[in-house]
Amino acid sequence: MLIDSPRLTDADRRRWRDFLRADELHARTGMYKTHVKLTMEIIVKFIEKNLNYYVAVSWGKDSVALAHMFYTSWARCKYYYLRNVLKAPEGCLAVRDAFLARFPVDYEEIAYDYADADETYFDANGYHVKWFNIQRDLHKKHDVHVTGVRADENAERRMRFLHYGTETEHTFAPFKYLNARDVFAYLWEHDLPVHPNYAMTGGGGQARWDKYKIRVSALGHERGDGMGRREWEDEYYLAEMNRIRRAKYDEGIARRGAGKPEQGCPDGV
Protein backbone atom coordinates (compact mmCIF):
# COMPACT_ATOMS: atom_id res chain seq x y z
CA MET A 1 0.00 0.00 0.00
CA LEU A 2 1.88 3.01 -1.28
CA ILE A 3 1.42 6.14 0.82
CA ASP A 4 0.53 8.94 -1.58
CA SER A 5 2.47 12.17 -1.84
CA PRO A 6 2.10 15.34 -3.94
CA ARG A 7 5.76 14.90 -4.83
CA LEU A 8 4.90 11.85 -6.95
CA THR A 9 4.36 12.50 -10.64
CA ASP A 10 1.87 10.64 -12.83
CA ALA A 11 4.85 8.92 -14.43
CA ASP A 12 6.10 7.83 -10.99
CA ARG A 13 2.73 6.30 -10.20
CA ARG A 14 2.57 4.42 -13.52
CA ARG A 15 6.07 3.11 -12.97
CA TRP A 16 5.12 2.02 -9.44
CA ARG A 17 2.41 -0.25 -10.82
CA ASP A 18 5.13 -2.04 -12.82
CA PHE A 19 7.18 -2.41 -9.63
CA LEU A 20 4.21 -3.92 -7.83
CA ARG A 21 3.84 -6.55 -10.51
CA ALA A 22 7.52 -7.45 -10.06
CA ASP A 23 7.03 -7.65 -6.28
CA GLU A 24 4.03 -9.93 -6.75
CA LEU A 25 5.98 -12.28 -9.00
CA HIS A 26 8.93 -12.37 -6.60
CA ALA A 27 6.63 -13.16 -3.66
CA ARG A 28 5.63 -16.36 -5.46
CA THR A 29 9.18 -17.68 -5.81
CA GLY A 30 10.57 -20.48 -3.70
CA MET A 31 13.65 -18.43 -2.89
CA TYR A 32 11.53 -15.66 -1.36
CA LYS A 33 9.46 -18.11 0.68
CA THR A 34 12.64 -19.77 1.98
CA HIS A 35 14.21 -16.44 2.95
CA VAL A 36 11.09 -15.38 4.87
CA LYS A 37 10.78 -18.77 6.58
CA LEU A 38 14.41 -18.67 7.75
CA THR A 39 14.02 -15.08 8.97
CA MET A 40 10.87 -15.86 10.93
CA GLU A 41 12.56 -18.85 12.55
CA ILE A 42 15.45 -16.61 13.64
CA ILE A 43 13.03 -14.06 15.09
CA VAL A 44 10.94 -16.64 16.96
CA LYS A 45 14.05 -18.20 18.53
CA PHE A 46 15.18 -14.74 19.64
CA ILE A 47 11.78 -13.87 21.14
CA GLU A 48 11.74 -17.16 23.06
CA LYS A 49 14.86 -16.06 24.95
CA ASN A 50 12.66 -13.51 26.73
CA LEU A 51 15.32 -10.80 26.68
CA ASN A 52 14.80 -7.12 27.44
CA TYR A 53 14.90 -5.62 23.95
CA TYR A 54 13.35 -2.94 21.73
CA VAL A 55 12.65 -2.76 18.00
CA ALA A 56 13.97 0.34 16.22
CA VAL A 57 11.85 1.70 13.36
CA SER A 58 12.44 4.48 10.83
CA TRP A 59 9.26 3.71 8.82
CA GLY A 60 11.31 2.76 5.81
CA LYS A 61 10.70 -0.57 4.07
CA ASP A 62 12.99 -2.69 6.25
CA SER A 63 11.71 -1.42 9.59
CA VAL A 64 8.06 -1.80 8.52
CA ALA A 65 8.73 -5.43 7.56
CA LEU A 66 10.68 -5.93 10.80
CA ALA A 67 7.92 -4.45 12.96
CA HIS A 68 5.29 -6.61 11.23
CA MET A 69 7.34 -9.78 11.68
CA PHE A 70 7.74 -9.11 15.40
CA TYR A 71 4.07 -8.21 15.79
CA THR A 72 2.87 -11.36 14.04
CA SER A 73 5.30 -13.42 16.14
CA TRP A 74 3.51 -12.22 19.29
CA ALA A 75 6.49 -10.26 20.53
CA ARG A 76 5.97 -8.24 23.69
CA CYS A 77 8.37 -5.33 23.39
CA LYS A 78 8.72 -1.59 22.79
CA TYR A 79 9.02 -0.04 19.34
CA TYR A 80 10.94 3.26 19.08
CA TYR A 81 11.26 5.84 16.33
CA LEU A 82 14.07 8.40 16.69
CA ARG A 83 12.90 11.33 14.56
CA ASN A 84 15.12 14.21 13.51
CA VAL A 85 12.42 16.87 13.04
CA LEU A 86 14.37 18.97 10.54
CA LYS A 87 15.65 16.14 8.36
CA ALA A 88 13.04 13.39 8.48
CA PRO A 89 11.61 12.93 4.96
CA GLU A 90 7.94 13.65 4.43
CA GLY A 91 5.84 10.51 4.56
CA CYS A 92 7.34 8.82 7.64
CA LEU A 93 4.49 9.91 9.88
CA ALA A 94 1.87 8.81 7.35
CA VAL A 95 3.50 5.35 7.19
CA ARG A 96 3.56 5.30 10.99
CA ASP A 97 -0.12 6.16 11.25
CA ALA A 98 -1.15 3.56 8.67
CA PHE A 99 0.88 0.85 10.39
CA LEU A 100 -0.26 1.62 13.94
CA ALA A 101 -3.91 1.77 12.84
CA ARG A 102 -3.67 -1.93 11.94
CA PHE A 103 -1.03 -3.13 14.39
CA PRO A 104 -1.33 -1.47 17.82
CA VAL A 105 2.19 -2.11 19.10
CA ASP A 106 3.70 -0.54 22.22
CA TYR A 107 5.18 2.44 20.40
CA GLU A 108 7.17 5.47 21.51
CA GLU A 109 8.57 8.32 19.45
CA ILE A 110 11.59 10.39 20.43
CA ALA A 111 11.73 13.59 18.39
CA TYR A 112 14.59 16.06 18.50
CA ASP A 113 15.53 19.21 16.60
CA TYR A 114 18.94 20.85 16.39
CA ALA A 115 17.21 24.18 15.91
CA ASP A 116 16.57 24.06 19.68
CA ALA A 117 19.86 22.37 20.58
CA ASP A 118 21.55 22.90 23.92
CA GLU A 119 24.98 21.75 25.13
CA THR A 120 23.78 18.14 25.47
CA TYR A 121 23.48 17.88 21.69
CA PHE A 122 27.25 18.23 21.17
CA ASP A 123 30.45 16.78 22.61
CA ALA A 124 33.49 18.77 23.80
CA ASN A 125 34.68 19.13 20.20
CA GLY A 126 31.36 20.42 18.94
CA TYR A 127 30.42 17.15 17.24
CA HIS A 128 26.70 16.27 16.92
CA VAL A 129 26.00 13.46 19.39
CA LYS A 130 22.29 13.78 20.21
CA TRP A 131 21.32 10.66 18.23
CA PHE A 132 24.02 8.60 19.96
CA ASN A 133 23.00 9.93 23.37
CA ILE A 134 19.40 8.85 22.76
CA GLN A 135 20.66 5.39 21.77
CA ARG A 136 22.78 5.27 24.93
CA ASP A 137 19.78 6.12 27.10
CA LEU A 138 17.70 3.44 25.38
CA HIS A 139 20.42 0.89 26.07
CA LYS A 140 20.16 1.74 29.76
CA LYS A 141 16.48 0.74 29.64
CA HIS A 142 16.75 -2.18 27.20
CA ASP A 143 19.58 -4.65 26.86
CA VAL A 144 19.22 -5.37 23.14
CA HIS A 145 18.61 -3.12 20.13
CA VAL A 146 16.76 -4.86 17.26
CA THR A 147 17.50 -3.47 13.83
CA GLY A 148 16.40 -4.16 10.26
CA VAL A 149 19.82 -3.86 8.61
CA ARG A 150 20.35 -6.36 5.79
CA ALA A 151 23.45 -8.28 4.79
CA ASP A 152 23.02 -7.25 1.12
CA GLU A 153 23.07 -3.48 1.80
CA ASN A 154 26.83 -2.98 1.55
CA ALA A 155 30.18 -4.63 2.21
CA GLU A 156 30.38 -3.32 5.78
CA ARG A 157 27.10 -4.96 6.73
CA ARG A 158 27.98 -8.19 4.95
CA MET A 159 31.13 -8.34 7.08
CA ARG A 160 29.05 -7.63 10.18
CA PHE A 161 26.93 -10.73 9.54
CA LEU A 162 29.99 -12.81 8.65
CA HIS A 163 31.78 -11.90 11.88
CA TYR A 164 28.89 -11.74 14.34
CA GLY A 165 25.95 -13.50 12.75
CA THR A 166 22.53 -12.11 13.62
CA GLU A 167 23.14 -11.48 17.31
CA THR A 168 25.69 -9.77 19.55
CA GLU A 169 25.49 -8.96 23.24
CA HIS A 170 23.51 -5.77 22.62
CA THR A 171 22.15 -6.04 19.05
CA PHE A 172 19.93 -8.36 17.05
CA ALA A 173 19.72 -8.15 13.24
CA PRO A 174 17.52 -10.94 11.86
CA PHE A 175 17.70 -9.95 8.16
CA LYS A 176 20.64 -12.17 7.33
CA TYR A 177 18.81 -13.81 4.44
CA LEU A 178 16.34 -11.16 3.30
CA ASN A 179 17.44 -8.91 0.43
CA ALA A 180 15.84 -5.71 -0.85
CA ARG A 181 13.62 -7.56 -3.35
CA ASP A 182 12.43 -9.88 -0.61
CA VAL A 183 11.48 -6.95 1.62
CA PHE A 184 9.42 -5.24 -1.07
CA ALA A 185 7.74 -8.56 -1.88
CA TYR A 186 6.95 -8.99 1.83
CA LEU A 187 5.35 -5.53 1.95
CA TRP A 188 3.26 -6.42 -1.12
CA GLU A 189 2.24 -9.83 0.26
CA HIS A 190 0.95 -8.34 3.54
CA ASP A 191 -0.35 -5.06 2.06
CA LEU A 192 1.85 -3.03 4.41
CA PRO A 193 2.30 0.75 4.11
CA VAL A 194 5.16 1.78 1.82
CA HIS A 195 6.93 5.11 2.09
CA PRO A 196 6.38 7.31 -1.01
CA ASN A 197 10.13 7.84 -1.38
CA TYR A 198 10.43 4.42 -2.99
CA ALA A 199 8.11 5.44 -5.82
CA MET A 200 10.07 8.64 -6.56
CA THR A 201 12.06 7.04 -9.35
CA GLY A 202 11.90 9.71 -12.04
CA GLY A 203 9.02 7.94 -13.79
CA GLY A 204 9.00 7.61 -17.55
CA GLY A 205 9.54 4.48 -19.61
CA GLN A 206 12.70 3.67 -17.68
CA ALA A 207 13.09 4.84 -14.09
CA ARG A 208 16.12 7.05 -13.51
CA TRP A 209 16.38 6.13 -9.83
CA ASP A 210 16.60 2.57 -8.51
CA LYS A 211 13.86 1.90 -5.94
CA TYR A 212 16.08 -0.74 -4.35
CA LYS A 213 18.70 1.91 -3.53
CA ILE A 214 16.41 4.76 -2.44
CA ARG A 215 16.51 5.30 1.32
CA VAL A 216 14.24 6.67 4.01
CA SER A 217 16.70 8.44 6.28
CA ALA A 218 17.78 11.93 7.24
CA LEU A 219 17.75 14.33 4.30
CA GLY A 220 21.09 15.91 3.53
CA HIS A 221 22.98 13.33 5.49
CA GLU A 222 26.74 13.39 4.95
CA ARG A 223 26.95 9.59 4.96
CA GLY A 224 25.45 7.51 2.18
CA ASP A 225 25.29 10.31 -0.37
CA GLY A 226 26.59 8.18 -3.24
CA MET A 227 24.70 6.61 -6.18
CA GLY A 228 23.08 9.94 -7.04
CA ARG A 229 21.36 10.35 -3.70
CA ARG A 230 22.09 14.06 -3.47
CA GLU A 231 20.70 14.62 -6.99
CA TRP A 232 17.62 12.60 -6.07
CA GLU A 233 17.08 14.72 -2.97
CA ASP A 234 17.34 17.90 -5.02
CA GLU A 235 14.82 16.57 -7.53
CA TYR A 236 12.16 15.62 -4.99
CA TYR A 237 13.02 17.62 -1.84
CA LEU A 238 14.66 20.79 -3.17
CA ALA A 239 12.95 23.25 -0.77
CA GLU A 240 13.81 21.06 2.22
CA MET A 241 17.40 20.61 1.03
CA ASN A 242 17.83 24.37 0.63
CA ARG A 243 16.52 24.86 4.16
CA ILE A 244 18.96 22.26 5.49
CA ARG A 245 21.86 23.82 3.59
CA ARG A 246 20.99 27.21 5.00
CA ALA A 247 20.86 25.78 8.52
CA LYS A 248 24.28 24.16 8.01
CA TYR A 249 25.69 27.44 6.70
CA ASP A 250 24.36 29.38 9.69
CA GLU A 251 25.70 26.73 12.04
CA GLY A 252 29.12 26.88 10.38
CA ILE A 253 29.25 30.65 10.85
CA ALA A 254 28.33 30.25 14.51
CA ARG A 255 30.95 27.54 15.04
CA ARG A 256 33.72 29.57 13.44
CA GLY A 257 32.75 32.47 15.66
CA ALA A 258 32.94 30.20 18.70
CA GLY A 259 36.24 28.71 17.60
CA LYS A 260 34.77 25.20 17.28
CA PRO A 261 35.49 22.79 14.42
CA GLU A 262 32.74 22.15 11.87
CA GLN A 263 31.51 18.57 11.91
CA GLY A 264 28.97 16.50 10.06
CA CYS A 265 25.89 15.16 11.77
CA PRO A 266 25.58 11.37 12.24
CA ASP A 267 21.88 11.41 13.04
CA GLY A 268 19.39 9.31 11.15
CA VAL A 269 21.75 6.58 10.03
Instruction: State the Rg of the chain over Cα.
Output: 19
Q: Within a 10 A sphere around the Cβ of 142, how many other Cβ atoms?
A: 18
**Strand 78-84 and strand 106-112: pairing?**
parallel
Over the stretch 126-170, which tens digit does the pLDDT of each residue have? 777 887 888 888 988 999 999 998 888 777 777 777 878 888 889
- CA separation for the pair 79, 88 (Å, rounded): 18
Q: How far, rounded to the nearest angstrom, does the alpha carbon of residue 66 sit from its chain's CA centroid?
A: 11
CA distance between the termini of the chain = 25
- Neighbour-count burial of 9, counting CB atoms closer than 10 A to its CB (0-12 exposed, 13-18 middle, 19+ buried): middle
Closest CA to 82 of 233, 247, 217, 225: 217
- CA separation for the pair 32, 15 (Å, rounded): 23
More confident residue, 76 or 227: 76
**Model pTM score:** 0.83
For residues 192 and 96, the answer to whether their CB atoms sit within 8 Å is: no
Report whether pLDDT(254) > 60.
Answer: no
Domains of the chain: 10-212 (3.40.50.620)
Widest CA span in the chain: 61
Dihedrals phi, psi of 112, to nearest 5 degrees = -145, 155
The pLDDT assigned to 184 comes to: 97
For residues 52 and 144, the answer to whether their CB atoms sit within 8 Å is: yes
- Neighbour-count burial of 52, counting CB atoms closer than 10 A to its CB (0-12 exposed, 13-18 middle, 19+ buried): exposed
Q: Stretch 1-27: mean pLDDT, rounded?
A: 93
- CA separation for the pair 91, 65 (Å, rounded): 16
Lowest mean pLDDT among 2-6, 24-28, 231-235: 231-235
Report whether pLDDT(124) > 70.
Answer: yes
- CA separation for the pair 230, 238 (Å, rounded): 10
Report whether pLDDT(262) > 50.
Answer: no
